């Protein structure tokens, strides 16, 4: 094989000093990393402060951010240049200071015009921000070029529209890009584009037997699209003066080449989550080689990393008010995964993981990139301590259980897409599918699929529950048949969405950097797991009295006895949460999935918990209509006679850790706020305690945690005096956000959450 | 059902006087025809001459045709308005004279810009005719809106490109629209658009179970596209001042409504064959009602029919030089099928069939519409005599065996698409697939799939034949394995073409006027059947000496003994033709076909016989390299020691009639030229003899015949003095053409064909 490639000659310089292996003859980034990375077991003492260039750039950028903030999150927008890899020339923040270059459009923070997903949304994003619609573009993308959104609505059934309208299925990626695909951007640095094009050409030659089934034809066309996208990436890089047809030859080039890959992705796609993947150890190899050669200093290495991270802080997408109400505070999930263990027992921690976290010190906290530590108690103590320290100081990072990742995905090259969704870099892609509201489904089970808010008959005319109080056995029969119906409808709705996304908004630029023979997961999601659990426990033990309206529809519930609830380390309540998860997932798995993808589910709501709660009536656990749902897998923090986390942080974590990741392989999201005083009296104690909490939680099988360390008083003050806290960043469900960018409702929701003041 | 429709009220006036039936409650045009048509058994004495309005319009149109002819077939072209149903406002020839209105663009004969099939072809059509390319359109249809042509080439395999380049598979609809779909345009007149939209909405509601397989999603989206196309048809008609949301209320409206349906089709699609279907008896019902009511006279009825036919003479498409070399003389196959027998034993002949043929007298001969008589010896003698008369006078009509159609398609509502391809109107559609060159396959069998012209290895490296003369048994083994390979490659190439056509150039406007639950045929085709047959007979009996080049490739053949040939009523030769047909069709049937369509094949080359011949080397029957193949199923007319039709017209027809239509359900094309003197001494005798020839041919199972009645001397004179014969129209393979519009090569080919001077 090797002799056939053009690359071998070209790589003499690029690969000089690297340990060889399979990666030299075929695309195999992981093999390159494993053979070449230098594990780092020390502490953070080697880190260098901010460079003058970084400071200048960051100062300028903060000025632009202020303007953007004053203009409700929009610095500037394009309205008539459909964004493609080659639609814009080169753009800079301060050209002479930038070690890493490349903007989405011609100016920093200017949002691109991205109509392929839906011209209505693209135009709505313009008008809702006071920009003009271009009539010619509207004509092009209405009469001649169909979009994803139009395709989806052309195929939907009336029942799907009804379920969507009534928000039993909600947040569907039919009016925004599905995102969550991570290109293996490292491949450009390691191999250069020409080699990657050659490999795609081979894949095209070998795609399918000669029998042209629809599947084969589709894939053959996709490979051609990918091939063209690679050629366009070269053109894009050339507009900045770089030739990425060849591999990178030093650290600066490696970072630049890799970033060009990511830049191509965000030029071509406005996806809900545009994650960059797992790049830390990979880049460390190049930095380490340059350091050893004496080509750069640690100070310069940090400067390069800071500049890359700054680019990720600048990513912007034009979005609609509807989108912003689902995902508040302009997240784009440039999720960057660091650390993790290797399958061979070494950790994958390098100095670069420190450098990346250190950007939060050099440039201060920031929502993006969504920094994600793949955690294990087996990681070197120096790193675990440093990560705990940065988490405490910044409330800007999240942790995922790397032991569970390796066991479930069979790879030590996973990265997180979006918040909690793992994929093996370059080998898996996900069909993102938002979520079904399973506590609303509790109400549908009681009311025979008639919606408690709109009074519409959304699902089958199942028998209503009619007793004065709710009978547990009767309820369970109803709930199961409601979930059966919902799972089928949900999966088939997603089948349409992904068919049309592939047809009208195919992610060629990202998929070009991945294996042709991909594994695809079909991600569903569950909202309201804690409320569904608590409601069922209330029905079982709480002797719930039902209040009905004049039409006989149950509209309110009064639990008369105490009942066990999820989030308090109660085994029966936690088992009920697992039962819901297992039962729903089993029904999901029964369905046909697009491209025979592997179904998964998540317990994750992002900030949509607020709008989901708004659409959900009173629930049998005593939760009030319209109140936000607890986010993700979080226990309820609602006021309610029998509700809330009553047993402290560790009990709450124990309950969450009991949820079976094996059944929720799209991830289980848990967001916690800890009062600093609850962690100890001084910083060292607090850091060590936080590290110990993380060790314990993950060893018990907890999957994920967003760590916030602050008091509610701080948030209340920031609510009143936003001008005092321009950079206050907090973790919400699955991402970090500037507190001031949350809607008033979401600020109130965050403040109402439990802030644990004891373990 | 009836009570649910909006139409019942609206139709009180439209349907007044019609006999009711199932057609009132659901779409069933055939039922309406069967219950309401008036069979006509008389002669042509009722026909009326040309009306003054027709004369004015036709005179004006002929002036435009002259300009068009002087400009090499292009009167004018659009370059920047992608043609859609609503892209152009109203246009007229002479507004105040037109009883039937509607043009493809804003001006008569102006060719529309139709880029959805391929921007390269659309631009090539412009530049090859001296028009400018619009850069903005090129950008739209290159960067943002992919086209059918690009999709196909993205999915092709190298082997497919090679087979295409070497013309073993040829004329594929990958660089032009597949066409051959016939909307049931009558539905608009009978039901109005609103009812049709309602029915499509119901179909959408009932499409698929809830399981969203790719097939179901595709069809649901297609129905939505159809629904929008119907809405656009209303807008298009409204621009001419007509409200086609309701049914037609008189003959003029019925013709106008029906024509709007067809006009929508030709605005939306530049298909190779855009046939109008079977509209004669249907329209006669409306005319007859108006005549009986005294609302119109026969003179006015003929005027309406003449105006409709004139519109069909005006249809133009922008086409490339490559296309014109395949299909010479600007055919668009506005094929219009008349006559035919009913399943109940009545003929479907009405006065309207006479009126339609009479347009060839009133306005003179014309290539379009492609007038097609569905013939049976059971048709009334008055009509058969009149059809024979018009065929003799005009050499502009063709005949198809209606007895075979009814027996094979189970319907008396078939129409011909293009030349010889039957579909049941509104119920079937065809995936058109051009053809494989089976005499070139004879050479591949001898040379181990190495091409005799290009020396390329096109197929598998099969063993070459190496003897000094050709061994029959060895040849047959080789030929079979070559056909096995070719059939698989051919069908899979077509699978790609039709997948992409549906994806990028879907015929929504036509399919909106057809049943949602369509039967689809997958048409393949065979070129060179007579030469393949004669070559095999030569190998078997002719002791064919092989001449090889320095590389050992067979390049010429000398048959040393006489051998039986096809076209001379020799049973063994004719059986060999059937063997080739059956064997190839059997291999075709083994393959997976797109959308599980039903495979068929045709013996039809259209005028491509010339380019196919050009690409085919010397053949074992003695045919010289480069010489045109005999068209369709015609016997060879090549000079050659042992070749040609030697036994006269009837022997030739007997051979053709022996070909099994059951195995070539896409049609068997036969073109014959008869010297008038061969038919008899006076016109009455000639007409009666021609009618008797037709009766006999079709009773024996002949499928199709193009009838030309003239002498070769006439053609030779027209070749020398084209100015003397501006309207000389002749039948070539499957259509009629103005002789002066043929290329010099094709004129020479036509002249070289056998002109039978005796029966």
Which among A207, A414, A419, A449 is annotated as catalytic? A419
User: What are the E-state strand segments in A335-455?
Assistant: 336-339, 371-375, 398-401, 414-417, 421-424, 428-431, 435-437
Q: Which residues of A touch B495 (CB under 8 A)?
A: 212-213, 217
Angle at which helix B214-239 crosses helix A148-155, to 10 degrees, equals 100
Run of H or E including A327: none
Measured CA to CA, the distance from residue A29 to residue A36 in angstroms comes to: 11
Q: Which residues of A touch B591 (CB under 8 A)?
A: 211
Measured CA to CA, the distance from residue B14 to residue B190 in angstroms comes to: 8
Best CA proximity match to B523, nearest among B590, B594, B580? B594
Residue whose structure tokens are 């009405």: B350
Q: Which residues of A touch B496 (CB under 8 A)?
A: 212, 217, 220
Measured CA to CA, the distance from residue A639 to residue B736 in angstroms comes to: 85
Give pLDDT, residue A431. 97
Question: What is the arithmetic mean of pLDDT over A527-554?
Answer: 97
Token representation of residue A538: 């209330």
Cβ contacts of A39 within 8 Å, gap of 6 or more? A346, A347, A348, A349, A350, A380
Give pLDDT, residue A754. 81
* B418 flagged as catalytic: yes
Measured CA to CA, the distance from residue A738 to residue A729 in angstroms comes to: 4
Task: Tell me how far CA of residue A743 lies from CA of A316, A671, A747, B508, B721, in angstroms.
Answer: 18, 19, 6, 45, 84
Structure confidence at residue A118 as a pLDDT band (50, 70, 90): very high
Nearest CA distance, A202 vs chain B (angstrom): 11
User: Looking at the partner chain, which of A210, A217, A489 has a beta carbon nearest the beta carbon of B155?
Assistant: A217
Contact present, B470 and B446 (Cβ < 8 Å): yes
Which tens digits make up the pLDDT trace of A330-355?
999 999 999 999 999 999 999 999 99
Give pLDDT, residue B11. 60
Structure confidence at residue A326 as a pLDDT band (50, 70, 90): confident
Question: What is the arithmetic mean of pLDDT over A359-370?
Answer: 96
Q: Cβ of B9: how many Cβ atoms within 10 Å?
A: 8
Which tens digits make up the pLDDT trace of B79-132?
999 999 999 999 999 999 999 999 999 999 999 999 999 999 999 999 999 999
Q: In the 8-state DSSP scheme, what is residue A143?
A: I
Give pLDDT, residue B637. 85
Q: In the 8-state DSSP scheme, what is residue A611?
A: H
> Are B159 and A224 in contact (CB < 8 Å)?
no
Test the B interface: residue of A137, A209, A217 with most B CBs within 10 Å? A217
Contacts 24+ apart (CB under 8 A), B54-63: B54/B303, B54/B306, B54/B307, B54/B310, B54/B362, B54/B363, B56/B94, B56/B97, B57/B93, B57/B94, B57/B97, B57/B98, B57/B307, B57/B310, B58/B310, B58/B363, B60/B93, B60/B94, B61/B93, B61/B108, B61/B310, B61/B313, B61/B314
Judged against a pLDDT cut of 70, whether residue A664 lies above it is answered with: yes
Token representation of residue B230: 């119907």
Measured CA to CA, the distance from residue A434 to residue A605 in angstroms comes to: 8
Measured CA to CA, the distance from residue B459 to residue B163 in angstroms comes to: 8
> Are B221 and A155 in contact (CB < 8 Å)?
yes
User: Looking at the partner chain, which of B212, B492, B500 has a beta carbon nearest the beta carbon of A211?
Assistant: B492
Token representation of residue B242: 């007509």
Give pLDDT, residue A640. 67
Which tens digits make up the pLDDT trace of A610-654?
999 999 999 999 999 999 999 999 999 876 678 888 888 999 999
Token representation of residue A85: 């890899």
Nearest CA distance, B369 vs chain A (angstrom): 30
Give pLDDT, residue B2. 39
Which tens digits make up the pLDDT trace of A570-611?
999 999 999 999 999 999 999 999 999 999 999 998 888 999
Give pLDDT, residue A10. 54
Give pLDDT, residue A261. 98
> Are A212 and B82 in contact (CB < 8 Å)?
no
Measured CA to CA, the distance from residue A480 to residue A438 in angstroms comes to: 11
Q: Quick one: three-class SS letters along B85-149?
A: CCCCCCCCCCHHHCCCCCCCCCCCCEEEECCCCCHHHHHHHHHHCCCCCCHHHHHHHHHHCCCHH
Cβ contacts of A410 within 8 Å, gap of 6 or more? A424
Residue whose structure tokens are 């003054």: B52
Contact present, A200 and A516 (Cβ < 8 Å): yes
Angle at which helix A529-541 crosses helix A571-589, to 10 degrees, equals 120
Q: Which residues of B touch A (CB under 8 A)?
A: 82, 84, 116, 140-141, 143-145, 151, 153-155, 157-159, 205, 210-214, 217-218, 220-221, 224-225, 488-489, 492-493, 495-496, 499-500, 503, 591-592, 594
> Are B495 and A217 in contact (CB < 8 Å)?
yes
User: What are the E-state strand segments in B496-639?
Assistant: 519-527, 544-548, 554-559, 598-603
The residues that bridge with A170 in the sheet, in sequence order, are A435
Judged against a pLDDT cut of 50, whether residue A5 lies above it is answered with: no
Which among B207, B414, B419, B449 is annotated as catalytic? B419
Contact present, B273 and B322 (Cβ < 8 Å): no
- Whether cis (ω within 30° of 0) applies to the bond prior to A28 is no
Q: In the 8-state DSSP scheme, what is residue A542?
A: S
> Are B211 and A140 in contact (CB < 8 Å)?
no
Q: pLDDT below 70 — which residues of chain B?
A: 1-11, 639-640
Q: Which residues of B touch A225 (CB under 8 A)?
A: 154
Measured CA to CA, the distance from residue A214 to residue A211 in angstroms comes to: 9
Best CA proximity match to B58, nearest among B396, B277, B314, B247? B314
Q: In the 8-state DSSP scheme, what is residue A632?
A: T
Q: Residue B700, class by beta-carbon neighbours within 10 Å (0-12 exposed, 13-18 middle, 19+ buried)?
A: middle
Which among A207, A414, A418, A449 is annotated as catalytic? A418
Test the B interface: residue of A115, A143, A221 with most B CBs within 10 Å? A221
Question: What is the arithmetic mean of pLDDT over A195-207?
Answer: 97
Contacts 24+ apart (CB under 8 A), B203-211: B203/B516, B203/B517, B205/A157, B205/A158, B207/B516, B210/A157, B210/A159, B210/A488, B210/A489, B210/A492, B211/A492, B211/A591, B211/A592
User: Looking at the partner chain, which of B158, B495, B500 has a beta carbon nearest the beta carbon of A205?
Assistant: B158
Which tens digits make up the pLDDT trace of A707-736?
999 998 999 999 999 999 988 999 988 789
Q: What is the DSSP string of A476-531?
A: HHHHHHHHHHHHHHHHHHHHHHHHHHHHHS--HHHHTTS-SS-EEEEEEEEE-HHH
Token representation of residue A8: 């071998």
Token representation of residue A474: 């009767």
Give pLDDT, residue B122. 97
Phi, psi of A419 (to 5 degrees): -110, -55
Give pLDDT, residue A756. 85
Measured CA to CA, the distance from residue A733 to residue A608 in angstroms comes to: 9
Task: Tell me how far CA of residue A386 lies from CA of A43, A338, A381, B169, in angstroms.
Answer: 7, 13, 8, 68
Q: Residue B476, class by beta-carbon neighbours within 10 Å (0-12 exposed, 13-18 middle, 19+ buried)?
A: middle
Q: What is the DSSP string of B518-534?
A: -EEEEEEEEE-HHHHHH
In three-state secondary structure terms, A738 is strand
In three-state secondary structure terms, A432 is coil
Best CA proximity match to A653, nearest among A569, A531, A532? A569
> What average pLDDT does the structure give for chain A?
95
Task: Tell me how far CA of residue B184 lies from CA of A297, A548, B308, B334, in angstroms.
Answer: 77, 55, 16, 14
Test the A interface: residue of B145, B160, B217 with most A CBs within 10 Å? B217
Nearest CA distance, B155 vs chain A (angstrom): 5
User: Looking at the partner chain, which of B84, B151, B211 has a beta carbon nearest the beta carbon of A592?
Assistant: B211
Structure confidence at residue A2 as a pLDDT band (50, 70, 90): very low
Q: Which residues of B touch A489 (CB under 8 A)?
A: 210
CB pairs under 8 A between A and B: 102
Measured CA to CA, the distance from residue B675 to residue B682 in angstroms comes to: 13
Measured CA to CA, the distance from residue B283 to residue B309 in angstroms comes to: 13
Measured CA to CA, the distance from residue B302 to residue B50 in angstroms comes to: 8
Best CA proximity match to A755, nearest among A716, A698, A726, A722? A716
Buried b (16+ CB within 10 A) or exposed e, A371-405: bbbbbbbebbebbbbbbbbbbbebbbbbbbbbbbb
Test the A interface: residue of B141, B155, B520 with most A CBs within 10 Å? B155
Enter the pTM of the model.
0.96
């Amino acid at each position: 094989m090797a002799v056939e490639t053009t690359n071998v000659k070209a790589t003499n310089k690029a690969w000089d000093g690297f340990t060889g292996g399979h990666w030299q003859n075929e695309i195999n980034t992981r093999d390159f990393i494993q053979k070449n990375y230098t594990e780092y077991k020390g502490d953070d003492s080697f880190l260098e402060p901010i460079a003058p260039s970084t400071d200048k750039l960051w100062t300028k950028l903060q000025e632009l951010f202020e303007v953007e903030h004053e203009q409700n999150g929009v610095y500037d927008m394009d309205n008539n240049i459909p964004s493609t890899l080659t639609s814009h020339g080169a753009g800079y923040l301060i050209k002479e200071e930038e070690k890493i270059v490349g903007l989405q459009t011609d100016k920093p923070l200017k949002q691109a015009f991205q109509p392929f997903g839906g011209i209505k949304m693209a135009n709505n994003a313009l008008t809702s921000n006071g920009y003009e619609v271009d009539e010619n573009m509207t004509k092009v993308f209405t009469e001649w070029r169909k979009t994803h959104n139009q395709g989806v609505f052309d195929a939907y059934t009336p029942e799907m529209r009804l379920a969507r309208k009534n928000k039993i299925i909600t947040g569907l990626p039919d009016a925004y890009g599905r995102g969550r695909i991570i290109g293996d951007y490292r491949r450009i640095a390691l191999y250069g584009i020409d080699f990657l094009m050659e490999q795609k050409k081979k894949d095209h030659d070998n795609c399918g037997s000669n029998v042209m089934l629809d599947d084969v034809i589709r894939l053959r066309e996709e490979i051609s699209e990918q091939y063209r996208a690679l050629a366009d990436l070269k053109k894009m890089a050339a507009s900045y003066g770089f030739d990425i047809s060849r591999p990178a030859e030093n650290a600066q080039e490696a970072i630049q080449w890799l970033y060009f890959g990511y830049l191509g992705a965000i030029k071509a796609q406005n996806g809900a989550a545009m994650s960059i993947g797992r790049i830390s150890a990979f880049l460390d190899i190049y930095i380490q080689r340059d350091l050893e050669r004496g080509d750069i200093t640690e100070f310069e290495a940090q400067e390069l990393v800071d500049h890359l991270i700054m680019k990720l802080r600048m990513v912007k997408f034009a979005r609609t008010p509807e989108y912003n109400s689902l995902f508040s505070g302009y997240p784009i999930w440039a999720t960057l995964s660091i650390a993790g263990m290797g399958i061979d027992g070494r950790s994958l921690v390098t100095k670069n993981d420190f450098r990346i976290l250190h950007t939060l010190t050099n440039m201060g906290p920031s929502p993006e990139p969504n920094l994600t530590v793949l955690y294990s108690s087996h990681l070197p103590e120096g790193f675990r301590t440093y990560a705990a320290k940065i988490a405490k100081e910044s409330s800007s990072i999240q942790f995922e259980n790397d032991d569970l990742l390796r066991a479930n995905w069979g790879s030590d090259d996973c990265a997180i897409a979006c918040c909690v969704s793992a994929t093996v870099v370059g080998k898996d892609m996900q069909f993102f599918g938002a979520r079904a509201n399973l506590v609303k489904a509790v109400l549908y089970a009681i009311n025979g699929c008639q919606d408690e808010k709109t009074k519409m008959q959304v699902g089958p005319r199942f028998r209503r529950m009619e007793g004065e109080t709710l009978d547990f056995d009767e309820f369970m029969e109803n709930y199961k048949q409601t979930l059966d119906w919902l799972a089928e409808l949900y999966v088939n709705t997603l089948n349409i969405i992904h068919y049309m996304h592939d047809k009208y908004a195919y992610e060629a630029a990202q998929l070009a950097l991945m294996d042709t023979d991909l594994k695809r997961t079909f991600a569903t999601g569950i909202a309201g797991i804690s409320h569904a659990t608590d409601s069922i426990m209330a029905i079982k033990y709480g002797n719930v009295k039902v209040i009905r309206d004049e039409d006989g529809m149950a509209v309110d519930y009064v639990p008369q006895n105490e009942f066990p609830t999820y989030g308090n380390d109660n085994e029966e309540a936690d088992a009920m949460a697992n039962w819901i998860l297992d039962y729903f997932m089993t029904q999901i798995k029964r369905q046909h999935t697009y491209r025979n993808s592997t179904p998964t589910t998540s317990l994750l709501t992002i900030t949509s918990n607020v709008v989901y709660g708004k659409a959900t009536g009173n629930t049998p656990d005593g939760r009030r209509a319209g109140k936000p749902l607890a986010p993700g897998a979080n226990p309820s923090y609602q006021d309610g006679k029998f509700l809330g986390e009553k047993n402290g942080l560790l009990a709450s974590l124990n309950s969450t850790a009991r949820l079976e990741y094996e059944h929720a392989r799209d991830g289980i999201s848990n967001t916690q706020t800890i009062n600093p005083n609850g962690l100890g009296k001084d910083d060292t104690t607090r850091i060590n305690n936080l590290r110990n909490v993380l060790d314990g939680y993950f060893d018990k099988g907890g999957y994920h945690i967003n760590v916030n360390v602050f008091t509610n008083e701080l948030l209340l003050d920031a609510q009143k005096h936003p001008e005092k806290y321009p950079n206050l960043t907090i973790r919400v469900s699955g991402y970090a956000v500037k507190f001031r960018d949350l809607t008033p409702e979401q600020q109130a929701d965050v403040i109402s959450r439990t802030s644990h003041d004891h373990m």
